Amino acid sequence: MSQTVISNSISYIIFIISLIIVGISLISVIFPALIISTTYDFPNTLEPLEISPWLFPLSFSIIASLFIGFLYKSKKLPSFLYSGIKFLLNFEISKKTSIITGSVILLIYIIFSSGELLIDEKTQWPDYYILEEALEIWPSTDHWSVYIAEQNTRYVRMFLLDFSQNVLENIKILPFLASILVIVFTALITTQIAKKRFAGIISMLILLQSVTFTDFDTIAVYENFWVLFYLISIYSINKKWWYASPITYILAIFSKAFVATYFWMNLMFIYRSEIPKKSKIILFLSYAVVITITYAIFESSRSIIYNEIITFDFDSFLNGFAGWGNSMQVDPLAILFIFPLIVGLFKKSLNGVKQADSILILIIGTIIAAPLVSFVTDFYFILPYRFIPFIVAMAIGIGVLLAKENSTQ
């Protein structure tokens, strides 16, 4: 069997899995009470088939996008639309222009967001009191409350927050810097995959329009260290310093254990990467070592902390899908465009942009991570900030759609 056939078969499998996961997630948007009405432990009067206001705009978005895509491929679009799409697909900017444009975008973002550094988080998030008490005993995990003890097992995160608070004298500074770098690496990954600097600029704008991202970008208690380290682990795979990928991934895990559910997505990025076969094998083995070490560390802490928070509940797994729909209510672009994006990335993968498959995996992986975590523990609530990697994945995916049609990966 030729490599092309194998590669395309993998693309089809990923696409089908993506349709299933996205389909379940969108059902929870159209019928908000469908899942929870059947999994809720107490009597309720919820109407499982009650339709939300999202049905019409979501249906219109899917049908219109697929219709326009079909007309474009068959060259039956009005000439001005066809020419406009062709222009976007072939438009590119110089490296100098991209740096200047990206810098201006970041500067505007920093100016409008920096005022949030003066806000006392105690007035915003009750969880800050837990973080505050954890910092008082850091690096010890000796506390009667499992919530506070668990905070201090996130060694990288707590070190950075402690540094920001005690050295920089503002606990929000490093979290804000991490969010700025998340924007930068979103653009870098998009440019790397699409081989197009203009696509990177578009991905920055898509990320910055997200309410989910801008609501949490300066928040210390829900910082983005874990997102940043994870993005670096992806970006470095295709660089000369590819060996940094497992290192930054383990930093992400010890910023937030939630990232442990992401490791299989990195394996897909490695598989689709352009690095030599020997480097791929070394990376695969490195990730096996990382997962083993991480498991050993968490297992050693299990009797102290994690034994108290591990449970298994399939109903909670189903409820996790409803969590995505609830969280994305403030980001209509995510709800309306996710299905067309899935189809578009699938077509890109068949047309030669093989890392489009990796972005599909990233999108569905960041959706299903919440149900998986809900399945094994009821310790964490699925708050919207946990979907920031999903927003990043969408931003990258939209940028990748702008890759030239004859691009090869």
pLDDT in tens, the chain (409 residues): 577 788 889 999 999 999 999 998 898 889 887 777 776 666 666 677 788 898 999 999 999 998 988 888 888 888 888 888 888 888 999 999 999 999 999 999 999 999 999 998 888 888 889 999 999 998 887 888 877 888 888 889 999 999 999 999 999 999 999 999 999 999 999 999 999 999 999 999 999 999 999 999 999 999 999 999 999 999 999 988 888 999 999 999 999 988 988 989 999 999 988 888 898 999 999 999 888 887 777 666 554 445 555 566 676 777 777 788 888 989 999 999 999 999 999 999 988 888 899 999 999 999 998 888 777 666 566 788 999 999 999 999 999 999 876 544 3
267 occurs within a structural domain: yes
103 occurs within a structural domain: yes
Tell me the CA distances in angstroms from 222 to 6, 40, 214, 322, 398, one per residue in order. 41, 28, 12, 21, 26
Crossing angle between the packed helical segments 173-194 and 388-400, to the nearest 10 degrees:
30
Number of domains in the chain: 1
234 occurs within a structural domain: yes
Q: Which of 107, 119, 215, 211 is nearest to 171 (CA)?
A: 119
58 occurs within a structural domain: no
DSSP symbol at 153: T
User: Which amino acid is present at 399?
Assistant: G
Query: For residues 53 and 31, what is the distance between their CA atoms, to the nearest angstrom?
Result: 10
22 occurs within a structural domain: yes
CA atoms within 13 A on the CB side of 368: 19
Q: How many CB atoms lie within 10 A of CB 41?
A: 6
Alpha helices in 122-262 (DSSP H): 127-137, 146-151, 155-166, 173-194, 197-208, 211-216, 225-235, 244-253
144-158-265 Cα angle (round to 5): 110
169 occurs within a structural domain: yes
Q: Which of 378, 396, 380, 377 is nearest to 388 (CA)?
A: 396
User: How much is the pTM?
Assistant: 0.91
47 occurs within a structural domain: yes
Range of the domain at 372: 3-52+91-400
119 occurs within a structural domain: yes
